[in-house]
Structure formats: C-alpha cells, structure tokens
Structure 1
C-alpha cells in the first residue's frame, strides 16, 4: 500500500508540474481593457501603424497587422479595413508602447494546479472615439502574437464582447493557438454588420470624370507605384476671359493680373489643380501630372479642381483621367 501511495503521489506531482504553464508555453493575457465600442452604421474603417517593433522587419509587421484585419473582413465581407499612412486621421492606431503604459492586472494562469499571475501584453486607449491599440514593446513579439492580440482588439472595436470560449478570438488569454474565428465569433460579427458596406473607399482606377469644380474621389489602391492624371478639353472661363485649357491662363485680357480670382495665386488661373489626402496646398497638374503612392496606404483621397474661386461663372468641363502609370 505504501508503494501505491508513493507511486500515486509521484504521478500526481509529475502531472501537476506538467500542467503548470512554464515560460516556453507562452501563456499571456492580451488585455485588461473591458471597453467595447458600440457598433454604428459605419462599416469602413481606416487604420495606421504609428511606429515599429525593433525585433521584426517592417514587412513582417505589416503582414501580421494586415492578417488581423483580414481575419474579420473575411469573416464578414460587409466590413472594409483600409491602411492609411501615418499622420492621417484614422479610427484605429497601432503603437508599440513602453511597458508602463500597459496596465497589469491579477489574472491567473488558466491551466495547471498552481494558478500564478500571467502578464498583460497589450492595452486599448480610447480618446474621442479614436482607438489606439498599445502593444508592449518589451514583449518578444512574433507575427503570430501580433496578429492574435490585434484580432482580439479589433473584435472589441467592432462591438464584440469578451468570450470565455476556448478558440474564440474574443478570449483574452493568448496560448499561441490557431488564429481563426470560432463559429460563435462568425455568428456575432455577421449579426452586428448584416448590410453590405456602401461607404468608404469605393472608387477604382482607371477613373474618368469631367471636372469644372472641386471634386474629391476616394480611390482604393490595388497596387503601389505612380499614379498619372491627364486632362484635355477646354472651358469658357467667365464672360471676359474666354476659353482656357487645363494648362490655365497666365493673365486676363490686356495682360491684366487675375490671381485674385484663383484658389492659388501662384498657379495659372483656371488650370487643373489637385491635392492628395489632407494636404492644404494645391499642386499644379495642367494637361498631365503624376505622383507616387506611399507604399502603405490602401486608400487615397484625390481632390481635383479648377483654379478658380468662382467656378459657377464657367461653362464646360475638362475631361480628366486618373490611372496607374504604365
């Protein structure tokens, strides 16, 4: 009998030790944050990565972040996530932060007989409906961990509650499990966003349009590189100035200066002008111009205009085409 109890005690001790999470098991708590955003009629969201993690190359980080958004977008095609360059206003920002910015709780290890505290590796900061996901910069992130942590936070942003279900993306415990939506995750996200997304970035290149006033188009990029704008045709510019081409007019009749009637005095009056995203300064285009994409943004706002502060006096329009440069 003594031998039986000795064997039983030894087996129990070995079993207990084998179930206590050790450092190699990678058991972490994703967040202490309980804030869940209330869903709205909006279904297109912009995000940006504001800094980088020193132990991973930039492309790997980009891919890991995109995989987290793709998880939800594939789970519900009504959703649309678009990466924007740093400096632009977005609904979601992602930042690697100092450990002091990550609140630490008293969460217990979910497995093993000894339920020790497990560290928290990320947090969510909410400011005026703008969400910043903070990832602990001291944590040894790999692409799997980045995708898993962000997937949880994105779910919270979309309106899903924390789930105790093993395998759910809304379970805040990170065990390096396979990254996929559970059946419950899929049901909930499709119930929250049941209508097709009609807002957001829904123009694709090539794009052709008449321009006789200020017009902005949100263009979805399906590749990076240079974008070319070309313009042709002519317009009647007011009663006294007559015809103008997209190149614009340097002066009025009898060489009278006409800069006061322009949106930008430094550019020919009535010329085709443009600006990108939230730029405040106009760029000259004329009959042809081009610009480079930043290699990150999946959506850009291109604003086209006639350099005239009173376009209602004009007649006609320039024929403008926006397309990728061959």
Structure 2
C-alpha cells in the first residue's frame, strides 16, 4: 500500500512539473489595468521649460472624436489647474510639439503587460500606455488601441503619463493621479499630487503668455503678441480680408486706400496709405508698411514681439478686420 501511495504521489508531482513547464506565459489576470509599465521613482524636473505643446496624431475608433479629445485635454489640464507655473497647449504642428499622442498596437510597448497576482499564481494584466523618448528629444505618448477606453480611463492614462513627462514620481496612493493601477476610480488630484507638482514648478512661467507659430490674428486696431520661436529663419506675414473705413474711403484691403492720395490728416503714419495694415518688431520706433514688408528674418532669439495696427487715426467708425497669418516661410 505504501508503494502504491508513493507511486501516486510521484505521478502527481510529475504531472505538476509538466504542467508548470508548459506555462510559456503567465495566465491572464483578473480584470484590472495598469495605466503604464513606466515609473518615476523620484521627483525630478526634466528641464527648465514650463509651457509644453502636445499634438494628437490619430484617434481611437471606439470612442467619438469629441469625447476623446476632451478626455486627452483634461488629462493635461488637470496638472496646470493644480500648478499655475506650467501649461499644456494643444498644438497642430507635429514637428513643433514636445509630446505626440498616438493610439498604437500594444506590441509597440516595451512592456505590453504587467505581472499581477491571480490567486496563488502570477498572471498578466493589461498596460494602457507608455511614454517613449524619441531620438530628437521629443516624447511620444503611446496608448493601446486594443483597450476599451472611455473618457475616464483615457483621462487617467494621459494624466499619469503627463505626470511622468513633468517629472512626477509614481505613487502607491490609490487616489493619486500618479497611481499605476486603474480601478475605474474618478480622476481627481490628491493633496500629495498638488504639493509635489508645485514643488517641482515653483517659478512663474513667463512662457504661458506667449504665442506659437503658426499664428492667426484678426486685426482691426492695435494688437500685440509675443511669439515663441524655435529656430532662426524667415517669418512670413500673410494678410487678406477687407475693412470698411468710412463712407468716403469705403472698403479697403490690407494694402490700404491705394486709390486715394495719402491722407496725412487722418493717418497715424502720414506717408503711408490710409487704413493700411502695418506692424512693428520688438517695439521699434517706426511702423512697417505690410504690403512692402511681408517677410522678416529672425536669428537665434527665443521670442519676438509683434505689434499690428491700422493706419487710421480714428478707428471707431471702422468695421471688419484683416486676417493675418504669421508663420515660418
């Protein structure tokens, strides 16, 4: 009888060993999601920048476009709502963005799943996204296109990776934006999140008041913009549209009232056509007539101040506006 019991025990052990060896991959875990396999162990601000441009390159086909854009935007803005010294700008020019958001197959992730306990064994659980630094120094936020995203989970994934991008540490606090595990909890900031982000970004961010190229303006009177540059080159100013500048002169384009003689008594600049579009660079003394100066060169300066106006000393009776588009040539 002992021999029979021993043989049975050995047979069970052999079956268990064979079963264990056949487990090439851990079994699927219970339904839970890790927003990322990426972690920051400590808080560390990655650069001195404080105003960041992001662009969304594609969309998730199981969530309507407006909802996912709002969810992504909320994932970024939750950080700037906590800290007035940083900002995120939804930017359309991909080549000028700090961060590009894309939905991809999770096979592109360095770690497409996390190992989590399933009873007495370890199993797999999904990963929502990853933050990847590209060779040009920008970042890609890659989100799984196989996960069943809703607005809440998408906002959580974006907020977590935006936090990593900003230098925030991963948290073990379930209510933190920086918690790895997503349990369908509401996406709200914790007190610890607020303290940590404000400790990283202490100084006033002057870049939050700047604009970026391409920039479109409606000009019907004086307007000034500080523009952030990202390279030297030629800047182009294109203008179109019409304004009505009184019953006598009538409707004019950005070139001004070219069919009339110069009207020095009604002009801000006596030698320039009446109601013409004009501009100044960096508060220079003299106005530039737009029609003769539609481009200008910039060097390695980081910002340029542009001021536009209409060459009319009495603008209160004018209607309409010129559309002005500023961009690299």
Q: Are positions 1:164 and 2:172 aligned together?
A: yes
Corresponding residue for 1:60? Answer: 67
Q: Residue 200 of structure 1: CA displacement?
A: 3.6
Q: Residue 206 of structure 1: CA displacement?
A: 8.1
2:187 aligns with one of 179, 182, 204:
179
> What is the TM-score normalised by the length of structure 2?
0.58
Indicate if the aligned counterparts of 1:46 and 1:90 stay in contact, CA closer than 8 A: yes
Alignment of 1:206-285 (within 5 A): 209=222, 217=227, 233=267, 243-244=272-273, 270=292
Tell me, in whole angstroms, the C-alpha distance in 1 between the residues paired with 2:189 and 2:164. Answer: 14
Corresponding residue for 1:79? Answer: 86
Structure 1 residue runs of 5 or longer lacking an equivalent are: 1-19, 219-226, 237-241, 249-266, 275-284, 292-300, 305-326
Indicate if the aligned counterparts of 2:94 and 2:100 stay in contact, CA closer than 8 A: no
Tell me, in whole angstroms, the C-alpha distance in 2 between the residues paired with 1:178 and 1:125. Answer: 26
For structure 1, which segment, 158-167 or 104-113, has the greater mean C-alpha deviation from structure 2 after superposition? 104-113
Q: What SS does the corresponding residue of 2:107 show, helix, strand or coil?
A: helix
Structure 2 residue runs of 5 or longer lacking an equivalent are: 1-27, 212-216, 229-239, 244-253, 257-266, 278-288, 297-308, 312-320
More strand by share: 2
Q: Are positions 1:143 and 2:165 aligned together?
A: no
Q: Residue 184 of structure 1: CA displacement?
A: 1.6
Tell me, in whole angstroms, the C-alpha distance in 2 between the residues paired with 1:286 and 1:33. Answer: 53
Tell me, in whole angstroms, the C-alpha distance in 1 between the residues paired with 2:272 and 2:86. Answer: 46
Q: What SS does the corresponding residue of 1:103 show, helix, strand or coil?
A: coil
Q: Residue 194 of structure 1: CA displacement?
A: 1.2
Tell me, in whole angstroms, the C-alpha distance in 1 between the residues paired with 2:119 and 2:93. Answer: 43
Q: Residue 246 of structure 1: CA displacement?
A: 6.5
1:29 aligns with one of 8, 31, 34:
34
Larger Rg: 2
Q: Are positions 1:95 and 2:95 aligned together?
A: no
Q: Residue 77 of structure 1: CA displacement?
A: 1.8
Tell me, in whole angstroms, the C-alpha distance in 2 between the residues paired with 1:272 and 1:169. Answer: 47
Q: Root-mean-square deviation (CA), in Å?
A: 4.0
Pair 182,100 (structure 1): closer, same or farther in 2 beyond 3 Å: same
